[in-house]
Each structure stands twice: as structure tokens, then as C-alpha cells.
Amino acid sequence: MTRFSIVFVLLGSGCLSIGLDESRLAQLPPLPFRIAVSGGAFLDPVERQEQGHVPKHTAGVERIWSRTYTVGQQEAIPFERIIGLLRRGRAATSVLVLANHPPSARERVALSGATPQSAARALAEAAGADLLVVVDGLDEGAVELQGRTGQWPISTVAWLTVGLGLFIPDHRFESRVRLKASVLDVHTGQALVSGMVFVPGTMDLALVNRTDFLGVLTSIVWPPTLVGNDPEAIVENVRAETDRRLLLRFLARLKDPETLNAIQQQLPMQLALSELPDHGLRTVVVGRQDLQEVVVEECLLDGTRRKLEGPTVRNLRKELLSGGVSGPGGERRFVGALAALPGGSEVRVIVQDVAGRRVSSTIRISP
């Protein structure tokens, strides 16, 4: 094996990042809803202080730094970054940012409980969202050294043979921060998915990511795995990777089929939309009561919505309101279809039963 071959094998033997990939997640089906997002990765006011509360140190590991984020930082991960990832990753049919909902209001939603969430829910419903996704703040945590990785012998061999051991991840670290989130029904305020917690997990750093310039120079005479750590360099790199992982895990959870199933199981009725040939739309409702109202909207690019009418909508309304087919356990199944919808349009269907319970869903028709 040539020296260059050894270099490529060694550099490919370990990496900082986990296997989550934004582009792959974007290829998964989105949630069939318009979601509004509120809250944010806000730190508790106490945890923003220099001597703020940090979760208890984990026994048996070395604390590199008492916190992951800087003192006084209000919002650990910018809200715009969260929205950007959810949109690029196609978390849902549409991802909305609420108007007249400044950072101070989002902070109250994230940290103050039910009353601010009720106000955000009302804004989301008025904006034509089907669900409200709340980022319920972020718990600060220490950056800890978990020890050497299994790559340290490879790092040493690389140092001896080609002088590139400083690029092999040989030390393992972990940030103890936690990002929290929940999903609410905009029509009722009910928590459909609650208690979602995301942690970054362990991450491996090479010498170039965990030390300063002096440390790199020291690796000329000492194996990289024996060179000491620079806490500030470690925290900076761990923080950046922590942000990335938390957001990707949040996106992955939203796109997990189990999340959609949990949402549908908690809603008062199950509403499923699926595209038919020639830009048609099949609508299936499963519930225990007769339906009372059916509304179809086209959601436009400027954020406005246009109520659709005409023969095809009247036919759908007739099919769904005429009575469903009885099924097991007292459930009833209602089926209808829309024809010749505009290609590329975003179509939202809202149904309400005779008990006044309402559900809605949104999908995008193919071009």
C-alpha cells in the first residue's frame, strides 16, 4: 500500500458527524400538514447567567467546560436556522412563521407554559395552519470528555508513518444540552405529541479540532493522542456540532412515520389526503360522528388562502356529508374525491363533525 493510500484510509477511519443527512431526510415524505412554528431554543433565564444552574456532573468523566453556550446568550440556536432547516428538509407540506409574533412572544411560548401557547395557537389557526409545532426551549449542559476513542492507535500509526495523526478523531466528547419540542392541534390546543427531547450524543474530535496552534506544534514530537486539550477550541467545535445534530434529530423525528401515526391517533378524526391521477385528490375521513361541514382551500404563495368552490367541491361535500360506511368499534368511514385541481397547488381540506370537532390536512398537488 502506498503512502497516499494509507493517508486516505486513515482519514476515512473516523469522523465527527453522525449519519443523519439533511438531503436524505428531505427526500422522505413530509407531514401532510401546514405547520406553524413557535417557541425556540431559548435558555432559561437562570441558565443564561455565569453561575446558572447546569445539570449535575456525570460521574467518571472529566468536565471540560461548565456550559455549552456563552454566558448571557438568550436563544441558543437562531430561530431562522430552525425554520430554514424545517423548510429545506420538507418537514411538512408548508412551514409557517407567525406574523405579529416577535421573539419575546416566542420566548414566552417556549418557557412559560399554556397561556402563551394558547395565544400562539390562535395565531396559527388564523394563519391557516393545521398544527402548531412548539420548540419548548433548550436546557444548558456541560461539555464533558468521555475519554479516548478506539481510533487512538490509528492516530498514532498515522503520526509515525505519514505525520497526519492530528486529523484522526481520537478523543470523545459530549454536550449535555437538551432541546425540547411538542406538537399541538391548532383547533383544540391538545398536545398531539409531547415530551420530545433531543440530545446531541457523543462526538469525536481530532487534535486539530481540540487544541490550539501550540498543541498542533507539540504533535510534531508527541503522538497526537497524548497532546493536551484546549477547552475553548473544544467547546467551539462541540457547540457547532451540537447545533447541527439537535436540528437534524428534530427534523428526523417530525418525519418519522411513528410521529404521523401518533398525531393521527390523537386527533378527534383521522383525515387522509392522497393524490389521484390528473391532479385529483382522494379524501378519507374516519370518525365516530356524521360530518357537518367540509371546506377546501388553495394556499397561495403569498401566504393567503382562497376558498375553492364549484362542482367538484360540491360533489366532495355531498359524498362526505351523505353518510359513511360503518366499521369496527363504532367507527365510520367517509370517502370523497376532488377532480382537476391546479397542478403544483397546495390544497387544504377542513372537516367538522356534528359534535363541532374539526381537523384539517394539507398536501401539495404535483405539477
String of DSSP letters for 75-131? BSS-HHHHHHHHHHTT-EEEEEE-TT--HHHHHHHHHS-HHHHHHHHHHHHHTT-SE
In single-letter form, the type of residue at position 287 comes to: G
The predicted structure's pLDDT at residue 299: 92
Phi/psi at 116 (5° precision): -60, -35
Count the neighbouring beta carbons within 10 Å of the beta carbon of residue 258.
Answer: 9
Pairing verdict, β 31-43 and 62-65: unpaired
Cell representation of residue 214: 501550540
Q: Where are the alpha helices (DSSP H) in 145-290?
A: 152-161, 207-210, 213-218, 231-255, 257-266
The predicted structure's pLDDT at residue 200: 96
d(CA 262, CA 182): 12
3-state secondary structure of 156: helix
d(CA 209, CA 230): 9
Q: Work out the burial of residue 217: count CB atoms within 10 Å of its CB; fewer than 13 is exposed, 13-18 middle, 19 or more buried.
A: exposed
> In whole angstroms, how far apart are CA 127 and each of 103, 131, 241, 344, 347?
18, 11, 34, 21, 14
Which residues of the chain, if any, have pLDDT below 70?
1-19, 50-61, 150-153, 155-166, 215-222, 224, 226, 228
Q: CA 68, 73, 79, 84 torsion: positive or negative?
A: negative
For the domain covering 269-364, report its CATH number.
Answer: 2.60.40.10
Q: Which residue from 65, 81, 24, 134 is spatially nearest to 246, judged by alpha carbons?
A: 81
Q: Which residue from 333, 337, 346, 340 is spatially nearest to 33, judged by alpha carbons?
A: 346
* 231 contacts 64 by C-beta, under 8 angstroms: yes
The predicted structure's pLDDT at residue 229: 81
Pairing verdict, β 31-43 and 131-139: parallel
Residue 114 makes CB contacts below 8 A (sequence gap 6+) with none
Alpha carbon dihedral 186, 191, 195, 197, in 10-degree steps, equals -20
In single-letter form, the type of residue at position 140 comes to: E
Q: Work out the burial of residue 366: count CB atoms within 10 Å of its CB; fewer than 13 is exposed, 13-18 middle, 19 or more buried.
A: exposed
The predicted structure's pLDDT at residue 10: 43
d(CA 128, CA 150): 52
Give the H or E element holding residue 144.
Answer: strand 143-148
d(CA 249, CA 321): 41
3-state secondary structure of 239: helix
- Give strand pairing partners of 93: none
> In the chain, where are the structural domains located?
3-263, 269-364
The predicted structure's pLDDT at residue 170: 82
> In whole angstroms, how far apart are CA 245 and each of 77, 125, 204, 223, 227?
12, 30, 13, 30, 27
Angle at 194 between CA 189 and CA 200, to 5 degrees: 140
